[in-house]
Structure 1
Amino acid sequence: MRTPVQSFAVANLRRRPEAVATGGFVAGFDPATTSPFVNYATPLPGAEPTAADVAALVAAFRGRGLTPRLEFAPDSAPAVEPALRAAGFGTEAVHTYLVCEPGTLTVPPPSDAGFAVAVPTAEPEYAAIDAALAEAFTGESTASPEGAARLRRLQDGGGAVRYARTADGGCAGAASCSPPAVGTAEVAGIGTRPAFRRRGVGAAVTAAVAAAMFEQGAASVWLEYSGDDSRRVYERLGFTPQGTRLYLTLEE
């Protein structure tokens, strides 16, 4: 049975501080950030938007000073991509997503590379994780109190945040996972500081958040990868390819 990735995307965006439903789309906004990786939209499965529906969606973004952006699995709503293309949306990226189920997860053995996987509990830990991820994803985000607060809300709200704690109490890298919806959950924000790469950090924290979701009863977790090296890491953990997700943006 295919993982309901698109239904999950809709449910997840409805959790945003501001969720807007319009013309077969759900847009999720967080007023605390202008990041396009937080503020974006997705179609309802099977949506068949008109030109007016797309225009209304664009207006919801423009009215907030944001670039219109969508993430979705195109096979779940075949009529959406042509409607967006007709309005001028261009391709930002196309990603394959990988899925893991409880029976396929392979947890790596404890590391001898000088770190241990930990659950953050205090504000300095969340700040250190946010800073480490900003370093890992250079140019995509900057460390901020709002970023640390989002991580805390994720952990406290039924999701999972795990980090690789170094011997001196620092953060070598981290991963997070959304709270489950429609039986699945998205693993995201997997990042390792450059000085700690190729030591098993990404594999350890990814397996930890996946295991945490399975303990909560999720039937699956899924993620997207950024290159062949990371794909191989995730496949060794028990993730397998299942479909693609399309990212479209409407520039000025």
Structure 2
Amino acid sequence: MHDNVQNFAVAHLLRRPAPVETGGFVAGFDPATDSPYVNYATPFPGAEPADRDVTALIRAFRERGLRPRLEFAPDAAPAVEPALRRAGFRTEAVHDYLVCTPATLVVPANGDGPDGGLAVRAPRTDEDYRAVDTALSEAFAGEFGPSEAGAARLRRTEEQGGAVRFVRAPDGTCAGGALCSAPAEDTAELAGVGTRPVYRGRGIAAAVTAALAATTFSRGTSSVWLEYSGEGSRRVYERVGFRPRGTRLYLTLEG
């Protein structure tokens, strides 16, 4: 499963508008944004980069005015972390990831909260995509601002074979949502699970997570994986069938 997730990471970055392959790495660049969470690199499984390969990777980022940054499953390429650390890369984060399969998926009945009856929807209009983007910005405490570009990226996720799902708020906006990438290597990444603070505790995260997994499985994919940010979110994901499977490492080069 480490290689499956890492193979997915490679394929996912190769779908970026301007990917670059160099020295055992693929860097996924999107000229429409300078976000480090969009523009980053990952190694091919089993890569054994020399110092000159890491230098070339750094140069690819610097030439674009971007901070060198990587996300990967270290068990899939054990030689990569030492090479990056020799070049001065430091740990940004270490995240465990969970995997769900059709055999483990549990779809909550009537949502998963005290008021029940949560209707999980797919966005249909530009207004829907803007509402989801705005809600996720609020859910993640302004880590990224709502924007037309963000809404457009959500629409492209759907158009390119992924999925976006949300629960509508009583005022017609979005209470919470999430997205799942287009599958690659027989798996897909579920990400951006967020609920606006006022609507938390109503089972929205569990409902959209289960709906996205079910949608992805219905298209023939054998697994879905995600990372979690804390024990509270882990319990939500485990309740709908996600199980611990491995670790992903985030490294960045400052300066």
What TM-score do the two structures reach when normalised by structure 2? 0.96
Percent of aligned positions with the same letter in both sequences? 67
The 5 Å alignment of 1:55-134 reads 55-111=55-111, 112=115, 115-134=118-137
Contact residue 3 and residue 220 of structure 1 kept, 8 A? no
CA deviation after TM superposition for structure 1 residue 34, in Å: 1.1
Q: Does 1:211 align with 2:211?
A: no
The 5 Å alignment of 1:19-38 reads 19-38=19-38
CA distance in 2, matches of 1:228, 1:119: 28
Contact residue 115 and residue 167 of structure 1 kept, 8 A? no
The 5 Å alignment of 1:99-248 reads 99-111=99-111, 112=115, 115-248=118-251
The AA in structure 2 aligned to 1:214 is: F
CA deviation after TM superposition for structure 1 residue 3, in Å: 6.7
Which runs of 4 or more aligned residues in structure 1 lie more than 4 Å from their structure 2 counterparts after TM superposition?
none
1:47-76 per-position Cα deviation (integer Å, ceiling 9, x unaligned): 000111001100111111111000000000
CA distance in 2, matches of 1:198, 1:80: 40
1:136-192 per-position Cα deviation (integer Å, ceiling 9, x unaligned): 112421111000000000011110100011233210010100011110000001111
SS at 2:94 equivalent: strand
Question: Using a 3 Å threshold, how does the CA distance of structure 1 residues 250 and 33 change in structure 2: closer, same or farther?
Answer: same
SS at 2:19 equivalent: strand
Gaps of 5+ in 2: none
CA deviation after TM superposition for structure 1 residue 114, in Å: 7.1
SS at 1:191 equivalent: strand
The two structures, once aligned, show a CA RMSD in angstroms of 1.2
Aligned length: 252
Counterpart for residue 44 of structure 2: 44
1:58-116 per-position Cα deviation (integer Å, ceiling 9, x unaligned): 01111111110000000000000000000000000001000000011000112335742
CA distance in 2, matches of 1:167, 1:251: 44
CA deviation after TM superposition for structure 1 residue 198, in Å: 1.1
SS at 2:119 equivalent: strand
